Structure 1
């Protein structure tokens, strides 16, 4: 049995700690992801087009990017646990507000507020893992926390779709209210199991805070990390938001099977995420990332060029897509988190989080501009989005080598 980090007296405490962080990740990722499979419902209920739906998705990501930049000013000046729990309470309030939004514009504002708090939570959770778990075991720990992505698709997305389809008087509002209730449970678990983390406060910060942030932001190896993470997000999130729309409109998959597609992908990634983390720790983060980056291009290109085929073909391809696209993030985040020392890790990871959200927002907006819906309801030019995403994926294969060399400096 591996030894726990000095922050915990036994492995059981460490597991409960990681479970609480995974729960926080689960709810804020689900809050973002639920918009994607509900795309057809939002377009119909709110009388919007694909481009406006893309902006609705991007409200979350752009707000998260801006909030992450503001967070750099204070994130390393507060004790981690207190900051995490307070931000999580704000996120819960914003998410419930989405469920009560009466129209498109107020929903847009509520999504932006949820994104502002959710985006900071994402980078803060990863910062806490990096502060608490040694690098040698960090791949597996991040695999545990990032399994939240899988759980959100295994249970959350299908259940949310079920709620939206079967609670008729609430419709698309039901998933947001559901997330709010689940988040309250996670808040209690986090309150009981996340310890005080204040080691970063013991370091002396010289000079003005703005000068410190500026120096962190312009360092050459940090700029490479920002580009690396941005390209990773563009590779996935130019394609993911429109999968449900494309499968229903072009491939002929019934809307009722979208839940099954996310369910299969989620179950598979739930199993694979810890395995990928273990492989990254054992064989090296760079090697595992490069393998995943190349192999993931196969289901990506297939997804954006798919023609009407049997459901089992769609399930095989979409499951492989979710495993490989999400799997890249595990070795990538383990490498990036090691680039800086603990005293500035919160600031750096907040900037990383902002870049991730900004890149994913830009990706969904640009994809929304490229794709068009014909008078017959078919989606066109999705293949062009796939080719652009593949180019970005190839660039990450090259850039990851710099992450490894920079982390040793």
Structure 2
């Protein structure tokens, strides 16, 4: 007969249902996020010619987006740890979709700057809450793989942005390109707003307006801070390359807007899918053996990517340039899942939206909020090829920070309850 005095076994924390649906929905929204973000760079030569802009002024259009994106992020991060994350993300989708479409009807430089700034505000609300929201639907052993799937939107969405922007811009003009990609996001805002808010990290606790501590607690987390510096250096390089490589192919190798964007987009989508998925799988595999597993993958990816990026810029022939670009992008995308997983692993559930907000602020403040304009300024004085050599140096710095970060991650994971 069963013993009635024996304590009942404590079941493991249950994950919220609907993980696959949440992943599919958030991935679709993130795809539109990066299409709307990158389409600007696909039509750079067309905007430059139409509005008669210098490279510095052209670079500032991309910087306007990033400045508003990073400045808005801390506000949305604080709010996301205290309110419904799906509703906050859905509001952001609606804002950036309307703003992208608005860029298609403006006639001057100031209007385009204002529209891109509004896109940054909308995307900040989604970017701060979505990674933590998604990981709360799945167990921690699968985090890197799940985040790698989510961040497939970076290469795929970026490639689609280049392809759509190049093709439509070449045939119908840059205004039409913004209109075509802007409005579809409104169709995803409603289902995202209705998405179930999961238990935060399986704790069974709903959002509490008084529970989350402030931003100052993140200053004591050395792993989080050093990891953020690594991602900032990476973002400086990737932001500069993403904005200027289509123009580089146009100027240095004689490719027209449509062909240059098509080739660059194809390389980005193939290397992005392969590199991102490989990085997530390798990160989770090595993490079972050592707390530094995710960082090892990222650090060596940066080390290998540095010389490849330099050769892509310096190669005299188009074939060598594209081959080196393929290798460089693969090893850069390798780190996407692992480095974002490090943020989740070393921060407590109650402050993860704020952690991603701080990360977003600093990686863009030190990264692609300034790199497009910096490279544009250097290009006006030294030429575009020489200016782009700043990017391999930034990638090497990212490798050094990733190695350094490995010395503190075990302690900070323990403090976060991981």
Q: Scaled by the length of structure 2, what TM-score is found?
A: 0.85
Cα offset for 1:403? Answer: 6.0
Distance 1:112 1:62 in 2: 8
Query: Which of 32, 35, 44 does residue 40 from structure 2 map onto?
Result: 35
Aligned partner of 1:285 in structure 2 is 294
Q: Which residue of 1 aligns with 2:353?
A: 346
| Larger displacement relative to structure 2 (279-288 or 225-234) | 225-234
Candidates 328, 333, 339, aligned match of 1:332: 339
Q: Check whether the contact 1:246–1:379 (CA below 8 A) recurs between aligned residues.
A: yes
1:189 CA displacement: 4.9
Deviations 1:110-146 (A, max 9, x none): 1011111112312221121233322210111011111
1:34-87 Cα offsets, whole Å, 9 max, x none, are: 122222112111110111111110001000011012223322110111211122
Whether 1:197 and 2:198 are equivalent positions in the alignment is: yes
What is the rounded CA distance, in whole Å, between the counterparts of 2:36 and 2:359 in structure 1? 20
Q: Which residue of 1 aligns with 2:306?
A: 297
The count of residues paired between Structure 1 and Structure 2 equals 391
| Cα contact 1:94–1:111 (8 A) shared by 2 | yes
Q: Could you tell which deviates more after superposition, 396-405 or 246-255? A: 396-405
Q: Is the 8 A contact 2:103 2:175 kept in 1?
A: yes
Aligned to 1:238, the other structure's residue is in SS state: helix
Residue in structure 1 matched with residue 29 of structure 2 by the alignment: 24
Change (3 A) 1:403 1:102: farther
The answer to whether 1:181 aligns with 2:194 is no
1:129–1:138 CA contact under 8 A, matched in 2: no
Distance 2:70 2:407 in 1: 24
Partner residue in 2 for 1:394: 399
Name the CA distance, whole Å, in 1 between partners of 2:381 and 2:191.
45
Q: TM-score w.r.t. structure 1 length?
A: 0.87
Structure 2 unmatched runs, 5+: 1-12, 287-292
Q: Which moved more, 1:318-327 or 1:32-41?
A: 318-327
Which one is further off, 392-401 or 327-336?
A: 392-401
Aligned: 1:114 with 2:115: no
What are structure 1's unaligned runs of at least 5 residues?
none
Distance in 2 of aligned mates of 1:222 and 1:286: 12
- Residues 7-406 of structure 1 aligned to structure 2 (within 5 Å): 7-9=15-17, 13-167=18-172, 171-191=173-193, 194-197=195-198, 199=200, 201-203=206-208, 205=210, 212-217=214-219, 219-258=221-260, 259-283=262-286, 284-307=293-316, 309-310=317-318, 312-358=319-365, 359-372=367-380, 379-402=384-407, 404-405=409-410, 406=412
Deviations 1:164-191 (A, max 9, x none): 1112xxx112222122233133335535
What residue is the counterpart of 2:290 in the other structure?
none
CA gap 1:289/1:316 in 2 versus in 1, 3 angstroms: same
Question: Shift of residue 347 of structure 1?
Answer: 1.2
Does the 8 Å CA contact 1:153/1:263 hold for their aligned counterparts?
A: no
Contact map agreement 2:144 2:283 (CA 8 A) in 1: yes
1:251 CA displacement:
2.9
1:163–1:174 CA contact under 8 A, matched in 2: yes
**Aligned equivalents of 2:299 and 2:227: distance in 1?**
16
Deviation at 1:265, TM superposition (A): 2.4
The farther-off stretch of 384-393 and 68-77 is 384-393
Task: Give the 3-state SS of the residue equivalent to 1:340 in structure 2.
Answer: coil
Q: Is residue 32–residue 157 contact of structure 2 (8 Å, CA) maintained in 1?
A: yes
